[in-house]
Amino acid sequence: MYAALLLFAFMCSTASTNAEHRQPCHSPNMTGYLNLMSLRGEIKAFGHFTYDSMGKKLRFTSNESQYVNSSQEHDLLMFFEEGIFYEIDSKNQSCEKKTLQSTLQPLDIPDDAKFLTAISVGNPSIDGEGIKLNIWMGSSAEVKGYSMSVTAGCLPLSSFYFSESVSVLISLSDVDNEIKDPDLLLVPPYCQGLPVEETPEGTEHSFLNEFI
Ligand X SMILES: *[C@@H]1O[C@H](CO)[C@@H](O)[C@H](O)[C@H]1NC(C)=O
Complex with ligand X: residue 17 or 71, whichever CB lies closer: 71
CB of 180 to ligand X, least distance (A): 10
Comparison of 147 and 205: residue with beta carbon closer to ligand X: 205
Q: In sequence order, what E strands does 1-66 have?
A: 30-38, 43-52, 57-62
User: Least distance to ligand X from the beta carbon of 119, Å?
Assistant: 27
Binding site for ligand X (CB under 6 A): 29, 48, 52, 54, 63, 65, 69, 71-72, 89, 92, 94, 179, 182
Minimum CB separation of residue 150 from ligand X in Å reads: 17
- Toward ligand X, which CB reaches closer, 18 or 94? 94
Shortest spacing between CB 91 and ligand X, in angstroms: 7
Tell me how far, at minimum, the Cβ of 110 lies from ligand X, in Å.
20
51: phi then psi, degrees, rounded to nearest 5: -130, 130
DSSP of 144-177: SEEEEEEETT--EEEEEEE-SS-EEEEEEEEEES
CB–CB of 26/109 below 8 Å?
Answer: yes
Contact 129, 122 (CB under 8 A): yes
| C-alpha torsion 97→101→102→108, nearest 10 | 30
For ligand X, give the closer residue by CB, 44 or 137. 44
Would you say 38 or 63 has its CB closer to ligand X? 63
